[in-house]
Amino acid sequence: MRGFDVTEMDSVDEKLAAALGYKKMYSKKELQITGSIDCNERCIFIGNEPGVLGKALRKNNVEGIIISDNELIRQTVEECREHEKILFISTAGLILQEQRQRLRNIYRTRFLMGFAMRERTKIALISAAKSEAELLSAGQMVALAKFLGATRIARPEWSLQ
């Protein structure tokens, strides 16, 4: 199994990506994470308002969405499945926070993942790393996904091409 990762770094070394076990790591230039609905390039939309997320999901250039703070918005997760978009979960909130905030985020993310899996929405974990120190290896991502309650970690055939 070889997955992919999306970072917020300007460029990513291909050798580093291969060493960490990824098929490809997308940098900011190739696939940006944006909160702007006017973005016309290939992007992942981040937000927490159901109306705006719904609008973003209807756009062709949006690969998927990130719900900021990993709050469960049922309507958005259902829309995500209808439009066949990917629900991205950023691991930055789980890894980089202090202990108390981290525990809260883990609980929230488990709840969100559980609902999304029941709804059969496509889910992907990404690091959204801003520097090399924030990166996780593919093995750690899989371990984290299992920890969050993922039961079936498949080859991402539906992943970004």
Positions in the binding site for another protein (CB under 8 A): 19-21, 95-96, 102, 132-137, 139-140, 143-144, 146-147
Sorted by sequence, the CB contacts under 8 Å of residue 14 that are 6+ apart come out as none
Distance separating alpha carbons of residues 78 and 119, to the nearest angstrom: 7
Q: By C-beta, is 107 or 147 nearer to another protein?
A: 147
CB-nearer residue toward another protein: 113 or 144: 144
Q: Report in angstroms how near the CB of residue 6 gets to another protein at its nearest.
A: 17
Closest separation between CB of residue 91 and another protein, Å? 8
Rounded least distance, CB 20 to another protein, Å: 6
Listing DSSP states for 30-75 in one string gives: TSEEE--TT--SSEEEEE--HHHHHHHHT-TTEEEEEEGGG---HH
Cβ distance to another protein smaller for residue 39 or 142: 142
* Between 67 and 135, CB nearer to another protein: 135
Distances (CA, A) of 126 to 38, 51, 110: 23, 24, 15
Nearer to another protein, 2 or 146 (CB): 146
Q: State the minimum distance, in angstroms, from the CB of residue 141 to another protein.
A: 8
AA letter at 151 = T
Which helix (H) or strand (E) segment holds residue 95: the answer is: helix 92-95
C-alpha–C-alpha distance, residues 18 and 35, integer Å: 29
Minimum distance of another protein from residue 17's CB (angstroms): 12
The values of phi and psi at residue 9, to 5°, are -85, 155
